[in-house]
Amino acid sequence: MCKVCKFGGTSMADADAIRNVEDIIRSDDSRRVVVVSAPGKRFKDDEKVTDLLYRAFSLKDDPTGFCGVFGKITARYDGIIKDLKLDCDLSAEYEAISQKIRASKTPDYAASRGEYLSALITAKYLGFDFIDAKDCIRFDSSRVFDPETTNGLLGSALSGGRYAVLPGFYGADARGEIVTFSRGGSDVTGSIAARAAKALVYENWTDVDGFLTADPRIVDKPELIETLSYKELRELSYMGASVLHHEAIFPVRKEGIPINVKNTFDKTKAGTMILPAAKLPKPRRIVTGIAGKKNYSVINIEKSLLNNEIGFVRKVLSILEKYGISFEHMPTGIDTMSIILADSEFKIPPDRLVEEIKTTLSPDSIAVYSGLSLIAVVGHGMENKKGTAAQICGALFDADINIRMIDQGSSEINIIVAVGTDDYERAVNAVYDSFFRRGASRESA
């Protein structure tokens, strides 16, 4: 059985990074399928190639501006080719890409070319076959990923123990039009390839040692998480732990394939292993990790006898659906309901949304409050464990932080609290200290 290896943007940033990638691949003959991202930043103020491609698309009707940005992109790849001492001329590819970007109606084709060119160069350098994702990764006419058609096509392409490089981030619909996943979607491509190849493991190589128990920009020296379940990964990734795309679990979970997140630049580290819950080692901590995100608002609705009004919640949600607005949480009371939304979800001004809810449902009162942040406390150890919510609330009480909302999922592996954004960093540290510093002694007692 083979291993599928996905390398992120930092791992593909320049020739030295790609040589390091080669060392990793050559050190294990089972690493036969390689998924690559577009080159990322080489230094703090550098630009990612994907960002340059999006900018090129935005300037497609400005010949001077487009050529300036597109020239930066081609120079980046030509520099990598030169430094790798490859006999590889991509001038014809550049010309074709330039023309098609300027003729495109959506940015998907432009955005995908970073991975495409990265994979062409990597395949040439490694002496592996190049497989274009547009030929194997299929989306339907509504631009929704088609997993079963993809699995058949890609499984056939990878059959026979083939050594291959596949560009991440994109596929195509039945007409051959390029469709991209959301940003970070190369992680998803790697997972798709692992399923198709019936891989022993999906290795996701990045620029960190693995998942940490909290954001190191907020908490000083958080611990590494050695093992995660698929469910814990999804909860933490969705709530801001950005090491791995939160949708990357689905293809491999179907086949029970583990994911190993590892550091390209420190191969000695074991990284984080992501497994089915049944295969997690025991004992484990009550809490596996803490993650969070800023920039949320809450719509508070009050109406007497709301609980007796059939269809009230459905009508509110239909208004959100009308404008393509997704909500995060919806705590309710006998005469009240609250809808928590990411600020980015307000496709129309909040005042206009409030007015439509007023007109449709005639509530007694309605108001929008902004400046919220959400914090997720996640772990299988919380299941059937008494006192976890009390410990979270106690930690925030001791830190003099007001809880604006608390919600626990039915699986009992996550509790989410909302706090004021001004209190966000202090709140994360207070909860972390309670479970991973002061709480560690209590758990082991």
Q: Domain containing 256: what range?
A: 3-277
List 212's β-bridge partners, or say none: 224
At 133-183, the pLDDT tens digits run 999 999 999 999 999 999 999 999 999 888 999 999 999 998 999 999 998
CA distance 209 to 265: 9
Helices (H) and strands (E) in the chain, counts: 14, 15
pTM of the predicted protein model: 0.85
Answer whether 290's CB lies under 8 Å from 216's CB: no
- The candidate with the shortest Cα–Cα distance to 164, out of 193, 139, 138, 192, is 193
**Residue pair 319/360 in contact by the 8 Å Cβ criterion:** yes
Q: Which two tokens stand for residue 3?
A: 């291993």
| Assigned domain for 350 exists | yes
Number of structural domains in the chain: 2
pLDDT, tens only, 245-302: 878 888 998 899 999 999 999 988 899 999 988 888 886 789 999 999 999 999 999 9
Residue 445 pLDDT: 44
pLDDT at 443: 52
Q: What is the CA 213 to chain-centroid distance, rounded? A: 17
Q: Report d(CA 232, CA 81) in Å as an integer.
A: 40
Q: Nearest-CA neighbor of 249 among 232, 268, 262? A: 232
Residue 284 in domain? no
Residues 266 and 189 in one domain: yes
256 and 133 within one domain? yes
Q: Is residue 316 part of a domain?
A: yes
| Residues 408, 3: Cα–Cα separation, whole Å | 37
Q: Identify whether 283 is part of a domain.
A: no
Chain-centre distance for alpha carbon 182: 8
In a domain, 271, yes or no: yes
For residue 48, give the nearest of 56, 57, 38 by alpha carbon: 38
Q: 3-class secondary structure for 234-245?
A: HHHHHCCCCCCC
Beta-carbon neighbour count of residue 29 at 10 Å? 10
Tell which of 216, 243, 277 closes a domain. Answer: 277
Position 403, amino acid? I
Quick one: 118 and 57 in the same domain?
yes
Q: How is 114-167 classified by DSSP, letter by letter?
A: HHHHHHHHHHHHHTPEE--GGGT-BB-TTS-B-HHHHHHHHHHHTTTT--EEEE
Whether residues 239 and 302 share a domain: the answer is: no
| Coil, strand or helix at 421 | helix
Let me know whether 257 and 332 are in one domain. no
Asked, for residue 195, whether it belongs to a domain, the answer is: yes
User: What is the C-alpha separation between 104 and 279, in angstroms, rounded?
Assistant: 47
In this structure, are 351 and 239 located in the same domain?
no
Between CA 216 and CA 31 the distance in angstroms is 31
Verify that 172 and 316 share a domain, yes or no: no
The residue among 253, 277, 301 that closes a domain is 277
Do 216 and 327 have their domain in common? no
Claim to verify: residue 251 and residue 302 sit in the same structural domain: no
In this structure, the number of other CB atoms found within 10 A of the CB of residue 140 comes to 12
Q: Is residue 282 part of a domain?
A: no
User: Helix crossing, 63-83 with 91-103: angle to 10°?
Assistant: 150
* Count of all residues that appear for the chain in the document: 445
- Give yes or no: residues 260 and 398 share one domain: no
Residue 167 and residue 224 share a domain: yes
Q: Where does a domain end: 231, 247, 277? A: 277
Distance, CA of 31 to CA of 395 (rounded, Å): 45
Check if the beta carbon of residue 386 is closer than 8 Å to that of residue 286.
no
List, in sequence order, every beta strand (DSSP E) within 246-335: 259-263, 272-275, 289-302
Instruction: Output DSSP code: residue 200.
Output: S
**Strands 365-378, 405-408: pairing kind:** unpaired
Whichever domain contains 17, its CATH number is: 3.40.1160.10
Residue 135 falls inside a structural domain: yes
354, 369, 362: which is closest to 319 by C-alpha? 354
**pLDDT at site 80:** 98
The CATH number covering residue 325 comes to 3.30.2130.10
The single residue listed with the structure tokens 């959506």 is 106
On whether both 262 and 374 belong to a single domain, the answer is no
Q: pLDDT under 70 in the chain at which residues? A: 283, 439-445
What does pLDDT average to over the chain?
Answer: 92
The pLDDT of residue 102:
96
10 is written with which tokens?
């930092």
181 alpha-carbon distance from chain centroid: 10
Tokens of 134: 């547009």
pLDDT for residue 73: 98
Bridge partners (DSSP) of residue 431 are: none
Residues forming beta bridges with residue 407, ordered by sequence position:
416
